């Protein structure tokens, strides 16, 4: 790692791409717009999966798997859905050496095939609710792609549930938004804003879409997870009916919700700095790296047994790694900083003599982030420091977002705020008004936050009466 | 579950398909040859994943992800590889509304795209070995498909490693075969035979393929996992070179190894009986089901608190479920037998009085499988019984396989053995001899077992000298 990263202030986009590649999170693949997720990046994704999967199961969901290839005609059954997705489809026309009678679409999302199966499985109210999640890959042929943020193929989970009533389906939609919020805030240390999408920003085929929106280090927004109340749209398109307790055939009410590898882009951009990645301890593939420090064989023989003792002491409860590579401590420090490991443990000959180690925090640079800690009871000290790092990272990201979110008093003020942060403003909710704002400023409504001030105001753009406040920002 | 399953003796194939659907493991999808894995089947797959993933990580592997869509030209770079796979390819010709310049293949396996990436990443001997595994989906357009056993799309893991020497790569290939064997025997309770594939049965592009072969309940063989030594074939095709310690450019040596959802078909067919599934406790999504027994509201009020106490007692260490559905105990017994839950715990009013419960083993029918056990210390009793069930299932499957494996003294004897089991026989190893046997008997060499008697003999078919014994059987 001789070369320094391009500083964020110089070229944020270049900084991002360099981090992804140098920290070996992901790499470009030979297929346009698709990426290879390297072991370090995939281990981070496994931590995201595990944090979410645990929460899904705790709320009564089970995982299942549905086919990758979907008959083209299925997508056409829900009008808005096919309009939303058809420009992005990848299509299998030949298989087994023959032209297929009907082309198959590589799933861009699975509402249609799952709707078809639910229609087979659901017969009576006793079969409801159906609470299923899938971990899979989807393909959306994007023109402009960026590693993790927008790729032709990405990994995600998509939850699909069916319910007897609208109320129950809406409650599920909101519950899963809460699950995403809880994960983002508590595991990823990302202070997201949960809210409703505007009519023009909602999912193709949904009645209502909810989202969690986060502010990145360049003050742009990242939609980080979405949860959709689909009403009876897909139930009617695929004939998902059940016999109610009153012996009447009713259409079911469905939901879908998804979070993708895009979240990794969010983690990079919310926490990273000019030295590299900065990973929240709960998700970090390596939480603590031990760097032995010695200048001679004698010192090495003195240090290494202590390093091994410390590793063993931590290994059951902390994801710890010893860096015994044949490189200088300085190289190693930079390397692990680049890779965002939350805590560095230095052990040199003097530490051995004193029975201490040096703990260096990734999130607090320089002397301020260093402490000298006794080897006895090190596990507790490390665990406690990791918890502090986790909560400090959340606090820092929250302060940054709040310091860069403003409430414009005029459209002129709105336009200047939006150049460098989020605007929180009364908005009329009209499609045309949103389109005008977008054309004039490149900002979109990120969401109408669940947390509303109450009362009413006037729309920041058109001056019409407004009953809700929206968050506006430029977005990835 | 009013209808009984078709007995195995009447129509094994029908029995199999009925179990898969009635136990809600999987279902047919509207796309020819592809399947939907339902929550119960997927939870079983998650147990398989977890058992393998733990072993992969313990042997130094990390997970990663490579693209689904592979340029057609990549497959053509390894001659045998493309010949093996081209009849089965699904091809994306259009994406984003346009005809692609080069068609993309939906991965049937990922040696080619991974080989391409390894060539970018591997520069020096210090970068080796590369030890990567992927959990993903692949598509092979099969003409005759069966749920889990042969589907156009399936889930699997594919490991891909690169090494500095042939010896190291061969050792990796064998190590992963050992991992599969250990998993199959100890987790799935399937007594597999590890061995080498014949020249005509090996993987397209491999130097040597190894396999674990299992005997199903109808005495046919199932190839249950394979591990391939690829030599320098893919390294040469994709230019995977490294600078050696002696400062010379050398081609790397690579391996690949995979195990798929097919394993679930193996679990069904090795253990299942005319009552349904029989799951090994280590992999069972539900290890013990508690069925409360009562005939009146008063009895219900007496029984249910004890049921809840018992559930709590077990829940931390056993995957336990209470069946509180509004159905008869008889219905529930049949239902959980169909679904293969290893242990049933019955709690009735008399059990409450006596402070006992009834434990009924799925693997031992009738009275013999029942025991009366005190509620105090139930966790230990259940854990111990689950361990017994696990080892008894392995033992029963081993005895069945051994009783149906014979050593023919002539080709006539061979032909009759092969009609109803495995033949273990001296074999010359010649491609033509194997082809003749296949044409005459429909049996193939399943493997040349690692465990060899030593010495030499004469080929059971052609009478030529033979130095190795092979296992022959009809196969799925």
The helix/strand/coil state of B115 is helix
CA distances from B7 to B87, B278, B408 (A): 36, 15, 30
The span from the CA of B402 to the CA of B421, in Å, is 9
Domains and CATH numbers, chain B: 12-271 (3.30.930.10), 288-384 (3.40.50.800), 405-473 (3.30.110.30)
Does B382 sit behind a cis peptide bond, omega within 30 degrees of 0 on the bond before it? no
Q: A65, B97: Cβ pair inside 8 Å?
A: no
> Best of A95, A118, A144, A161 to disrupt the B interface by mutation (most B CBs within 10 Å)?
A95
Contacts A152 to B, Cβ<8 Å: 69, 95
Q: Which residue of B has its CA nearest to A102?
A: B31
Query: What residues of A are in contact with residue B62 (Cβ under 8 Å)?
Result: 39, 42-43
According to the model, what pLDDT value does residue A83 have? 87
Minimum-distance CB partner of A66 among B36, B62, B103 = B36
Contact between chains at B62 and A74 (C-beta distance less than 8 A) = no
Statement: residue B415 has pLDDT above 80: yes
Determine, for residues A38 and B64 on separate chains, whether the beta-carbon distance falls below 8 Å: yes
Of B394, B401, B396, nearest in space to B187 by CA? B394
Q: How many residues does chain A have?
A: 476
Number of residue pairs across A and B with CB atoms under 8 Å? Answer: 164
What is the pLDDT averaged over residues B214-242? 98
In terms of CA atoms, which chain A residue is nearest residue B41?
Answer: A64
- Count CB neighbours of A141 within 10 A: 24
Q: Of all residues in chain B, what percent carry a pLDDT higher than 70?
A: 100
Cβ burial of A179 (10 Å; 0-12, 13-18, 19+) is: buried
pLDDT surpassing 70 at residue B2: no
pLDDT in tens, B334-365: 999 999 999 999 999 999 999 999 999 999 99
**Contact (CB<8Å) B70/A31:** yes
Record: contact B92-A96, CB cut-off 8 A: no
Q: Is the dihedral of CA B414, B223, A69, B84 positive or negative?
A: negative
d(CA A22, CA A240): 48
Pairing relation of β-strands A288-292 and A320-322? parallel
Task: Reply yes or no on whether the pLDDT at B368 is more than 70.
Answer: yes
Angle at B369 between CA B368 and CA B371, to 5 degrees: 95
Q: What is the DSSP letter of B189?
A: -
What is the pLDDT at residue A421? Answer: 98
For residue A128, the distance in angstroms to the closest alpha carbon of chain B comes to: 14
Q: Which residues of A touch B65 (CB under 8 A)?
A: 36-37, 42, 45, 155
| Residues contacting A154, CB < 8 A, separation 6+ | A137, A138, A140, A260, A261, A262
Average pLDDT rounded to a whole number, residues B292-297: 96
**What pLDDT does residue B330 have?**
95
Is A99 within 8 Å of chain B by CB? no
- Residue A231 in contact with residue A207, Cβ under 8 Å? yes
Contact A116 B30 (CB under 8 A): yes
A60 touches chain B (CB under 8 A): no
CA angle A199, A202, A203 (to 5 degrees): 145
- What lies within 8 Å, CB to CB, of B108 at 6+ separation is B85, B88, B89, B138, B139, B140
Cβ-Cβ contacts under 8 Å, A162 against chain B? none
Rounded to two decimals, the ipTM of the complex is 0.96
Distance CA A351, CA A332 (A): 18
The band of B179, judged by pLDDT with boundaries at 50, 70 and 90, is very high
Tell me the CA distances in angstroms from B275 to A71, A103, A463, B319, B336, one per residue in order: 36, 41, 71, 22, 10
Q: Do B67 and A34 touch (CB under 8 A)?
A: yes
Element (H, E) at B448: strand B444-449
Task: Tell me how close the Cα of A465 comes to any Cα of chain B, in angstroms.
Answer: 41
Residues B225/B95, Cβ–Cβ less than 8 Å: no
B1 falls in which pLDDT band (50, 70, 90)?
very low
Q: CA-to-CA distance for A474 and A22, rounded, in angstroms?
A: 27
B36 neighbourhood in chain A, CB within 8 Å: 64-67, 117
Which pLDDT does position B3 carry in this prediction? 76
* Nearest chain B CA: its distance from A164 CA (Å): 19
**SS3 per residue for chain A:** CCCCCCCCCCCHHHHHHHHHHHCCCEEECCCCCCEEECHHHHHHHHHHHHHHHHHHHHCCCEECECCCEEEHHHHCCCHHHHHHHHHHCEEEEEECCEEEEEEEEECCCCHHHHHHHHHHHCCEHHHCCEEEEEEEEEECCCCCCECCCECCEEEEEEEEEEECCHHHHHHHHHHHHHHHHHHHHHCCCCCCEEEECCCCCCCCCCCEEEEEEEECCCCCEEEEEEEEECCCHHHHHHCCEEECCCCCEEECEEEEEEEECHHHHHHHHHHCECCECCCCCCCCCCCEEEEECCCCHHHHHHHHHHHHHHHHHHHCCCCEEECCCCCCHHHHHHHHHHCCCCEEEEECHHHHHHCEEEEEECCCCCHHHEEEEECCCHHHHHHHHHHHHHHHHHHHHHHHHHHCEECCCCHHHHHHHHHHCEEEEEECCCHHHHHHHHHHHCCEEEEEECCCCCCCEECCCCCCEECEEEEEECEC
Do A95 and B136 lie within an 8 Å CB cutoff?
Answer: no
Short-list A65, A66, A69, CA closest to A96: A69
List of chain A residues with pLDDT < 50: 1
Residue A1's pLDDT is: 44
Is A90's CB within 8 Å of B92's CB?
A: yes
B269 CB near a chain A CB, below 8 Å? no
Chain segment B427-465, per-residue pLDDT in tens: 999 999 999 999 999 999 999 999 999 999 999 999 999
pLDDT digits (tens, 9 = 90+) for B34-83: 999 999 999 999 999 999 999 999 999 999 999 999 999 999 998 888 88
Helix axes A166-186, A39-58, angle to 10 degrees: 140
Residue A341: partners with Cβ closer than 8 Å, 6 or more residues away:
A279, A284, A286, A287, A288, A289, A362
- Taking an 8 Å cut-off on Cβ atoms, the answer to whether A141 and B42 are in contact is no
Interface of B with A in 104-143 (CB under 8 A): 104, 106, 113, 116-117, 120-121, 132, 136-137, 139, 141-143
Mean predicted confidence (pLDDT) in B93-108: 95
- Give Cβ neighbours of residue B167 (< 8 Å, ≥ 6 apart): none
Can you tell me the mean pLDDT for B311-324? 97
| pTM over the 0.90 mark | yes
Q: What's the pLDDT score for residue A54?
A: 98
| d(CA A471, nearest CA chain B) in Å | 31
b/e map B276-290, b = 16+ CB within 10 Å: bbbbbbbbbbbbbbb
Place of tokens 């009809």: B474
Q: Parallel, antiparallel, or unpaired: how do β-strands A90-95 and B370-374 relate?
A: unpaired
The answer for B 19-48 residues in CB contact with A (under 8 A) is: 27, 29-31, 34-39, 41-43, 45-46
CB neighbour class for B364 (10 Å; exposed up to 12, middle 13-18, buried from 19): middle
What are the backbone dihedrals phi and psi of residue A310, each rounded to the nearest 5 degrees, phi first? -65, -45
Q: What pLDDT, on a 0 to 100 scale, did the predictor assign at position A79? A: 85
């Amino acid at each position: 790692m001789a070369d320094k990263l391009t500083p964020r202030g110089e070229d944020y986009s270049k900084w991002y791409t360099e981090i992804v590649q140098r920290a070996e999170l992901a790499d470009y693949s030979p297929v346009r717009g698709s990426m290879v997720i390297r072991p370090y990046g995939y281990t981070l994704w496994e931590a995201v999966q595990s944090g979410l999967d645990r929460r899904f199961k705790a709320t009564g969901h089970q995982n299942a798997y549905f086919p990758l290839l979907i008959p083209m005609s299925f997508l056409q059954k829900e009008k808005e859905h096919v309009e939303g997705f058809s420009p992005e489809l990848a299509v299998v026309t030949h298989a087994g050496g023959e032209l297929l009678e009907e082309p198959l679409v590589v799933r861009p999302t699975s509402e249609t095939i799952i709707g078809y199966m639910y229609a087979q499985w659901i017969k009576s109210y006793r079969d409801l609710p159906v609470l299923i999640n899938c971990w899979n890959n989807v393909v959306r042929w994007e023109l402009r792609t960026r590693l993790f943020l927008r790729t032709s193929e990405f990994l995600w989970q998509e939850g699909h549930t069916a319910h007897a009533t609208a109320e129950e389906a809406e409650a599920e939609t909101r519950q899963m938004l809460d699950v995403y919020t809880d994960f983002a805030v508590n595991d990823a240390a990302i202070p997201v804003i949960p809210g409703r999408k505007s009519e023009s920003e909602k999912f193709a085929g949904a009645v209502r879409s909810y989202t969690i929106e986060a502010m990145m280090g360049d003050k742009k927004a990242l939609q980080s997870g979405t949860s959709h109340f689909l009403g009876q749209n897909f139930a009617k398109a695929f004939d998902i009916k059940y016999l109610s307790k009153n012996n009447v055939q009713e259409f079911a009410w469905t939901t879908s919700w998804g979070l993708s590898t895009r979240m990794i882009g969010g983690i990079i951009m919310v926490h990273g700095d000019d030295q590299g990645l900065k990973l929240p301890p709960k998700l970090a593939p390596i939480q603590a790296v031990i760097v032995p420090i010695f200048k001679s064989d004698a010192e090495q023989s003195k240090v290494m047994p202590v390093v091994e003792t410390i590793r063993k002491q931590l290994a059951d409860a902390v994801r710890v790694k010893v860096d015994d590579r044949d490189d200088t401590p300085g190289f190693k420090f930079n390397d692990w900083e680049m890779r965002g490991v939350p805590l560095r443990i230095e052990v040199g000959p003097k530490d051995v003599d004193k029975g201490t180690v040096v703990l260096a925090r990734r999130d607090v640079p320089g002397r301020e982030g260093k402490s000298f800690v006794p080897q006895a009871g090190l596990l507790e000290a490390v665990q406690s420091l990791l918890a502090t790092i986790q909560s400090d990272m959340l606090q820092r990201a929250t302060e940054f977002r709040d310091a860069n979110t403003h409430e414009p008093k005029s459209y002129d003020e709105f336009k200047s705020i939006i150049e460098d942060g989020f605007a929180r403003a009364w908005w009329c909710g009209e499609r045309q008004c949103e389109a005008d704002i977008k054309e004039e400023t490149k900002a979109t409504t990120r969401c109408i936050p669940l947390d509303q001030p109450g009362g009413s105001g006037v729309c920041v753009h058109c001056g019409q009466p407004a009953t809700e406040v929206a968050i506006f920002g430029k977005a990835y």
